[in-house]
Structure 1
Amino acid sequence: FTEAAALNFKTLESEGQEAVLELLFGEDGLGYSMGRVHMNSCDFSPKPYTFDDVPDDFTLSHFDTNVTHDVQSGMINLLSRASTKISANNGNLKLMVSPWSPPAWMKPPLPSDPPNSTYASTMNGSVQPSCLREGTAANSTYAATWAEYFSKFLTAYADQGVEVWAVTVQNEPEFPAPWEACSYDITSQRDFVEYHLGPV
């Protein structure tokens, strides 16, 4: 489930939408019951977006709990309708969430950023071995905030009627892609889960 898929789904007439749902999730179609959705934008989004772009908002008081972007793009609708189609066949949608990148303000500057930059200018790309400012050690404020961001996102989706079955720490964690990315090596990913994401 990507923003690109949702935007294309929106362009279809009702009969076309129903045909897609039946082909992918219906009893007479492929019968998929598991899917993945991105948290924040990904490389299948027209442009980068997050749900909190206010730098150093460690309490996430500016987090968009209505996940307005995903509602307006049609992602929530597509997920809800897929879930309904699967439920009609006595199944349950197992939805997994993966981030491509945290907000840029949580990331250290990239080599391409201006000298003396405080944080990355874009969600694209990543430094290594950890894409988060202050790394992922137990005392990292940014790692703690990013973990809390996961929780806020899951709650916001649940409030929209979309239940999440599982999360992954990161899409392609060892790849500093030129699109939305966040690199971790084995140690930094382990520490993020142990000290931050796990306890949340």
Structure 2
Amino acid sequence: MDGFGFTLSQGSAQHLLQMSEEGRKNILNELFGKGENQIGVSYLRLSVAASDLNETPFSYDDLADSLAVDPEVLQFDLGPDRLDVLPILKEILTINPEIKLMASPWSPPAWMKDNKDTRGGSLLPEFEEAYARYLVKYIQEMEKEGVQIDALTIQNEPLHPGNNPSLLMLPDQQARFIGVHLGPAFREAEIKTKLVVYDHNADRPDYPITVLNDSIANPFIDGSAFHLYGGTIDALSKVHQAHPDKNLYFTEQWIGAPGNLAGDLSWHIKNLIIGAIRNWAKTVLEWNLTSNPSLTPHTDRGGCDRCLGAITLDGDSVVRNPAYYIIGHASKFVEPNSVRIDSNLEEGLPMSPF
């Protein structure tokens, strides 16, 4: 196991920064510490630039001129992340310096896309090399900030171009992008960050299998990531059976406000904390770390306006929501590098012993 945790969105970081220094210290220690009254979160997912839980979409290389391009990515700047995500991340790293981080892009810069928009569209083939350069710079610039990215998924929900931001990326393009551009660029830059494909629902195991079947892309790929807004969790095992040398990660599941502890806890424990792990997942991550009472920020034209964080923050007031308890059931007791042992299944008793 690599760990259990949440996504630290820019919105989550903003909520935490609105707390008093003492209040923020207390809740971060509760979440990421390993003491008696702490839950020991061991894994976080970050968005590469904006996710849909931002007030507005942005990339690290936005250009004022709508006709301009920057193929050498000379204007790359972590910019907005320095205001929220990075300060919070550095506080978390002082509590748990061993926490693992996965990053996922929601969209390339709009000038790289065929629709020139943050929402939907596809990456233009002529900018695949530039996008690889962009992702290399992200890893390098985060490292300069003292933040080591353990794994990078190629695209959040590549078959869902209706979000804002988002990108449609079909499996043949993802395979080509990794094999021809991103993998070689990481190798040349001596980047050790793992490359993880798919990062979408369990109803399409054919997508990661197609990418992994590509002989040029395959050597660069560590594994595949999944959500469970469609399909069934045993689809992860289909990917494992096709490529048993590759890892599997469960990276996102949301809970809609206001939440229902009894129903949410039982479904998520059965399908994710037990189900994903019985089907070879090395992580279980919920979406996302914090919300506020108004469930903001989120982008327009597709941003999630009902996503309930693991905790709801209103100043220094903290409400612990279902995802806090779902992840806490595992993160408090199952440390990174724990191993799931083989076991039989009794009817009506799901279990995943470590």
TM-score (norm 1): 0.82
Distance 2:69 2:148 in 1: 29
Deviations 1:104-155, CA, capped at 9 Å, x for gaps? 110002xxxxxxxxxx1x20123xxxx1113xxxxxx301100110011111
| Large movers: runs of 4+ above 2 Å | none
Paired position in structure 2 for 1:33 = 42
How far apart in 1 are the matches of 2:179 and 2:57? 29
- The partner residue of 1:10 within 17, 28, 38 is 17
Which of 112, 116, 120 is the aligned partner of 1:125? 120
Structure 2 gaps of 5+ residues are 1-7, 186-354
Cα offsets for 1:61-104 (capped at 9, x unmatched): 1112xx221112x21011111111113xxxx1110110000011
Q: Size of the alignment, in residue pairs?
A: 172
2:130 aligned partner? 145
More moved, 98-107 vs 153-162: 153-162
How do residues 23-62 of structure 1 correspond to structure 2 at under 5 angstroms?
Answer: 23-28=30-35, 29-54=38-63, 55-62=68-75
Which residue is 1:95 aligned to? 101
SS in 2 for 1:96: strand
Cα offset for 1:51?
1.4
Cα distance between partner residues in 2 of 1:164 and 1:142: 24
Quote the residue 1:199 is aligned against: 184
CA distance in 1, matches of 2:139, 2:26: 29
Aligned to 2:247: none
Distance 2:171 2:71 in 1: 25
Which amino acid is the alignment partner of residue 192 of structure 1? Answer: F
* Residue segments in structure 1 that go unaligned for 5+ positions in a row: 110-119, 135-140
TM-score relative to the length of structure 2: 0.47
Report the counterpart of residue 310 of structure 2 in structure 1.
Answer: none
* Aligned partner of 1:79 among 77, 83, 89: 89
SS of residue paired to 1:35? strand
Percent identical: 31
2:104 aligned with 1:70, yes or no? no
Secondary structure of the 1:199 match is: helix
CA deviation after TM superposition for structure 1 residue 177, in Å: 2.1
Please tell me the residue identity of whatever aligns with 2:62. D
Deviation at 1:184, TM superposition (A): 1.4
Match for 1:164 among 132, 144, 149? 149
Q: How far, CA to CA, are the matches of 1:178 and 1:186 in structure 2?
A: 19
Secondary structure class of the residue paired with 2:103: strand
- 2-structure distance, mates of 1:192, 1:100: 16
Give the whole-Å Cα distance in 1 for the aligned partners of 2:11 and 2:163: 18
Q: How far apart are residue 50 of structure 1 and its match?
A: 1.3
1:152-174 CA-to-partner distances (Å, cap 9, x unmatched) read 11111111111111101010111
Contact 2:57 2:164 in 1 (8 A): no
Matches of 1:188 and 1:125 in 2, distance apart?
15
* 1:20-46 CA-partner distances (Å, limit 9, x unpaired): 211211113221111110011110111
